[in-house]
């Protein structure tokens, strides 16, 4: 097989890049080891920055998103019974939207199928080759046969556990990692959201987040020990714990119901440098991970796609490699800012097992400063809605 851009990974990053390239007449093939049904069954983030929204529209897949998404003009932060609101609209002139990653992926899959986009699912043994030459290629197994895919460039969109990052020799890559001593227990329920905006809650019992997918589908989280398993948490236990971590007037009107999905995610900050090796480019979780506190995971992946897409278009339309040559530097500059914001939000809102009384006083002072200081709220808002590309 032959294509211009081989894309390893059929999640939202890989599919978005393929669709954007298709709109510019640039051929691509997406290789995904799972089935479409499995990929669409993954429950993930739902907050989209303006930059991501604009990319979806540019890719021609924004119609359902524009019709069904929820616009969020701000957020609520609580600590104990205290709370305050931060207006994104007031501080930045823009907003974020709530539109689940599953829905993003479904829209992209539908578009790829409609325009005969080449997405090959249920492949195994994917391996890029000769990235440092002018003739890279990817091999994989499909239906028991070895297939060779020749290409000009390879985009590694295959996540933290994928093969792409491992192709950069250990002596040539630097990995930075911070692990956090807790996880998030997330529950999805067919219940109306407790509030029209997201609630980020700091309590003496630990962090909680009240989010939503639509007017009758809510997503709630509580901080929990890493050793916990989802089966340790009955629905009743989860709802009672959530109520203890949010202000009383929200707890009293919280509508509970059976969970339809329950999972625990560990929290980690991770960055790999560089994000390019010859003709291989890393995107999204293959190169970096953020804690979910700042809603940056999917959005940092989108910024990678933006830079790589621009570089590829510049090369194919103008025969200019500048965008590709500067990809890693541009992407990492924005990623580290997102890493800082996510780390700060995590530090601000969670309870750490080794926190001293001094640490808790500093945390509360930080929250009260944020509550009372317009400039601090503007900084949070600017980071939350998304720094410019």
CA distance 27 to 177: 35
Check if the beta carbon of residue 83 is closer than 8 Å to that of residue 373: no
Residue 144 CA to residue 221 CA, distance in Å, equals 42
Give dist(CA 42, CA 144) in Å, integer.
26
Say if residues 307 and 327 touch (Cβ distance below 8 Å): yes
Peptide bond into 380 cis (omega under 30): no
Helix, strand or coil, per DSSP, at residue 285:
helix
DSSP class of 143: T
CA dihedral 157, 333, 54, 93 (to 10 degrees): 150
- In this structure, are residues 387 and 334 in contact, taking their beta carbons and an 8 Å threshold? yes
Q: Using CA atoms, how far apart are residues 3 and 172, in angstroms rounded to an integer?
A: 28
Residue where the block lists tokens 């195994």: 124
* Closest by Cα among 113, 106, 93 to 56: 106
- Residues ≥6 apart with Cβ < 8 Å to 318: none
**Locate tokens 């278009």: which residue?**
313
Round to whole Å and give the CA distance between 339 and 303. 13
List active site positions.
72, 200, 292, 296, 384
User: First vs last Cα of the chain: how many Å apart?
Assistant: 34
Q: How far apart are CA 112 and CA 108, in angstroms?
A: 6
- Written as six digits, the tokens of 271 are 């960055």
Largest CA distance in the chain: 63
């Amino acid at each position: 097989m032959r294509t211009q851009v081989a894309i390893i990974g059929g999640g939202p990053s890989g599919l978005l890049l393929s669709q954007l390239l298709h709109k510019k007449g640039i051929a691509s093939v997406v290789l995904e080891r799972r089935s479409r049904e499995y990929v669409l069954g993954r429950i993930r983030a739902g907050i989209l920055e303006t930059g991501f929204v604009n990319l979806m529209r540019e890719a021609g897949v924004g119609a359902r998103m524009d019709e069904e998404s929820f616009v969020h003009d701000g957020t609520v932060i609580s600590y104990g019974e205290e709370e305050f609101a931060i207006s994104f609209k007031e501080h930045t002139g823009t907003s974020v939207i709530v539109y689940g990653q599953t829905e993003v992926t479904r829209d992209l899959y539908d578009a790829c199928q409609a325009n005969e986009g080449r997405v090959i699912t249920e492949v195994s043994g994917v391996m890029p080759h000769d990235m440092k030459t002018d003739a890279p290629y990817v091999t994989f197994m499909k239906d028991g046969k070895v297939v060779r895919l020749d290409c000009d460039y390879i985009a590694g969109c295959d996540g933290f556990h994928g093969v792409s990052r491992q192709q950069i020799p250990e002596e040539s890559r630097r990995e930075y990692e911070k692990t956090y001593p807790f996880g998030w227990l997330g529950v999805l329920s067919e219940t109306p959201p407790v509030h029209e905006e997201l609630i980020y809650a700091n309590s003496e019992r630990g962090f909680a987040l009240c989010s939503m997918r639509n007017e009758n589908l809510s997503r709630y989280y509580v901080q929990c020990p890493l050793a916990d398993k989802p089966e340790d948490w009955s629905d009743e236990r989860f709802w009672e714990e959530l109520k203890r971590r949010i202000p009383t007037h929200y707890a009293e009107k919280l509508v509970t119901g059976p969970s339809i999905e329950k999972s625990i995610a560990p929290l980690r900050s991770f960055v790999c440098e560089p994000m390019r090796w010859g003709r291989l480019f890393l995107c999204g979780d293959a190169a970096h991970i953020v804690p979910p506190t700042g809603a940056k995971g999917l959005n940092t992946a989108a910024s990678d796609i933006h830079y790589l897409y621009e570089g590829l278009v510049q090369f194919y339309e103008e025969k200019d490699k500048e965008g590709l040559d500067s990809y890693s530097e541009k992407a990492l500059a924005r990623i580290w800012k997102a890493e800082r914001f996510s780390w700060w939000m995590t530090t601000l809102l969670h309870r750490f097992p080794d926190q001293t009384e001094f640490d808790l006083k500093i945390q509360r002072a930080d929250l009260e400063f944020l509550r009372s200081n317009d400039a601090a709220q503007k900084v949070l808002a600017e980071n939350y809605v998304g720094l410019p590309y």
